[in-house]
Structure 1
Amino acid sequence: MSFMPSSAGSNVAPTAILSALPQEQRGLVDVLQAPSRVTHAGREFWLGQLHGHPVVLALSRIGKVAAATTASALIERFGVGRIVFTGVAGGLGPAVNVGDVVVATDFVQHDLDVSPLFPRFEVPFYGKARFDADEALGELMWAAANRVLARRGHGDEFAGARVHRGLIASGDRFVSGGDESSALHGVLTAAGHAVLAVEMECAAVAQVCVDYGIPFAAMRTISDRADDTAHVDFAHFVEHVASRYARDIIGDLLATLPGQP
């Protein structure tokens, strides 16, 4: 495995921080210490320090294939010891509202169907449909998200936002219609997958991390209800809310991270 230190003199495996969109990552790049930029696999990777930890910041890009490529590059080229993902998602669970945060317990590909050769949603040759988030890393992310949201002021637009833990579904489609959202929630629930949020990357990254034995955790800020208003809410939310959540929650997570992998 190739390893490129995140800063001069460091031989510690860095933590990778993935985001799908530049707006989600901007706040983290702005506070990165001793930054250096590396281009690899047609992507830009930012190496540096955050809260005393070596990190690599990268954009997964949009969709499962792009996200899997980026995750593989982080592991093979940069030798990261763990991957965390921050971004936005559409809310599917009935109690999940705009402004809430979902910290993943596990991930499923909602558009994977190799039936009748394998049961619907099952990933061929793995014997399961869902890949778990790393339990210890997920606990730290859950605690960090709760601390950050608890600090929101009463005048904040999302002062009453909550943190949820549960299943996140990924697929190569931006789910943005009420009928589609309801149908997706229904078919997943009927198959035993009580999903809270839907997005386009994390299940692919989770599968890559299982293959390499790398801890993975993810949080998603709910930007919309994956319904007919999704296209209206999305751009503003990413720029003005999700980017702050990413900076604050990941910063809190790194500040409390007990040692390096």
Structure 2
Amino acid sequence: MPIAILSALAEEQNGLVHLLENAQQIRHAGRNFCRGKLHGQEVICALSGIGKVAAATTAAALIERFGAKAIVFTGVAGGLGDAVHVGHVVVARQYVQHDMDASPLFPRFEVPGYGRVVFDCDTALTNALLQAVQACVQQQAGRWTAELGLGAPQVHEGLIVSGDRFVSGSEEVAQLCQGLQRAGLQPLAVEMEGAAIAQVCADYGLPFAAMRSISDKADDAAHVDFPLFVQSIASRYAQAVIEELCKRL
């Protein structure tokens, strides 16, 4: 079963790509795809691009052109939950598009034509990803966060929200969370791609799972240098977790 590994940033996938056996680079739809094997599992690595449209295009290409049977996303996000801090990891159970608003024709956050707000991640694949993340946190990740002066990493699971804007201010975070909470939603993290991929996978009936390492609190305070975080923590999470996941699959 070919499994696709998506990330938004090249730095997160460099380590993974170098580990692939019999790697083959393919250019398609303006993107570079790398196909090979990792611990006996057929893997296709690709960069999603930034934003929902780019992510959806990449996901569709992986399914239509490369025959992906499951998609896993690994990347960074801003933390929204009170207990979610820089260096922690959120494993998605559900996704919502926080900027979807077709009211008054449809309720706020509902995706027209689907009759729902929430897109669930695949339970079995998410459980396997969660176990791989937990193993990484228990065995390795504490050393990585310590290098940047961060606290011990923790794993969270729940709702991640996506939208086509970079959320980076305290007031914007408060408004975002209040709007979601009024709809009965409790977000743990915010990013720009996952909900689109979840919708594409729902269309095709494919399993989808995602993890996000928390690089900031999506507010005005810069807790750590972002490029340094990606290199020192996010890229390590991507490599270690996906390796462990492939072993488990």
**In the alignment, which residue of structure 2 is the partner of 1:130?**
118
The alignment status of 1:165 with 2:153, answered yes or no, reads no
Verify the 8 A CA contact 1:63 1:172 in the aligned structure 2: yes
- Cα distance between partner residues in 1 of 2:185 and 2:207: 22
CA contact 1:149–1:159 (8 Å) conserved in 2: no
Tell me how far 1:238 sits from its aligned partner.
1.2
Kept after mapping to 1: 8 A contact 2:4/2:62:
yes
Give the drift of 1:154: 5.7
Question: What is the rounded CA distance, in whole Å, between the counterparts of 2:27 and 2:242 in structure 1?
Answer: 23
Matched, 1:243 2:243: no
Confirm whether residue 72 of structure 1 aligns to residue 64 of structure 2: no
Measured at CA, do residues 48 and 153 of structure 1 come closer, stay the same or move farther in structure 2, by a change above 3 Å?
A: closer
**C-alpha distance 153-138 of structure 1, shift in aligned 2 (>3 A):** closer
| Residue type at the aligned position of 2:20 | L
The answer to whether the aligner puts 1:90 opposite 2:82 as a matched pair is no
1:218 partnered with 2:206? no
Choose the corresponding residue for 1:142, options 86, 106, 130. 130
Q: Give the aligned partner of residue 203 of structure 1.
A: 195
Structure 1 residue 153, shift from structure 2 partner: 6.9
1:14 corresponds to: 2
Cα offset for 1:33?
1.2
Q: Which residue of 2 aligns with 1:5?
A: none
In 1, distance between residues paired with 2:171 and 2:142?
34
Number of residue-to-residue matches in the alignment: 245
Mapping 1:97-136, distance limit 5 Å: 97-136=85-124
Moved over 6 A (4+): none
- Counterpart of 2:225 (choices 233, 246, 256) is 233
Out of 24, 37, 48, the position equivalent to 1:36 is 24
* Offset, 1:110: 0.4
Q: Relative to 1, partners in 2 of residues 1:151 and 1:159: Cα closer, same or farther, differing over 3 Å? A: farther
Distance in 1 between the 2:141 and 2:103 partners?
Answer: 49
Give me the whole-angstrom Cα distance separating, in 1, the residues matched to 2:24 and 2:151.
36
**1:224–1:233: 8 Å Cα contact kept in structure 2?**
no
Q: Kindly state the Cα deviation for residue 185 of structure 1 after the two structures are TM-superposed.
A: 1.2
Q: Which runs of 5+ in 1 are unaligned?
A: 1-12
- CA offset digits 1:47-100 (Å, max 9, x no partner): 001111011000000000000000000000001110000000000011101001
Q: Please state how far the C-alpha of 1:229 moved relative to its aligned partner.
A: 2.6
- Residues 197-230 of structure 1 show CA distances to partners (whole Å, capped at 9, x for unaligned) of 0000000000000000010000000000001135
Pair 123,27 (structure 1): closer, same or farther in 2 beyond 3 Å:
same
In 1, the alpha carbon distance for the partners of 2:213 and 2:89 equals 4
* Distance in 1 of aligned mates of 2:65 and 2:131: 30
SS at match of 2:65: helix
Q: Does 1:47 align with 2:35?
A: yes
Q: Distance in 2 between matches of 1:68 and 1:229?
A: 31
For 2:128 and 2:173, the matched residues in 1 are separated by 30
Structure 2 unaligned runs (5+)? none
TM-score normalised per structure 1: 0.91
Q: Is the 8 A contact 2:52 2:193 kept in 1?
A: yes
User: Is the Cα contact below 8 Å between 1:152 and 1:159 reproduced in 2?
Assistant: no
Cα root mean square deviation, aligned: 1.4
Letter paired with 2:183: A
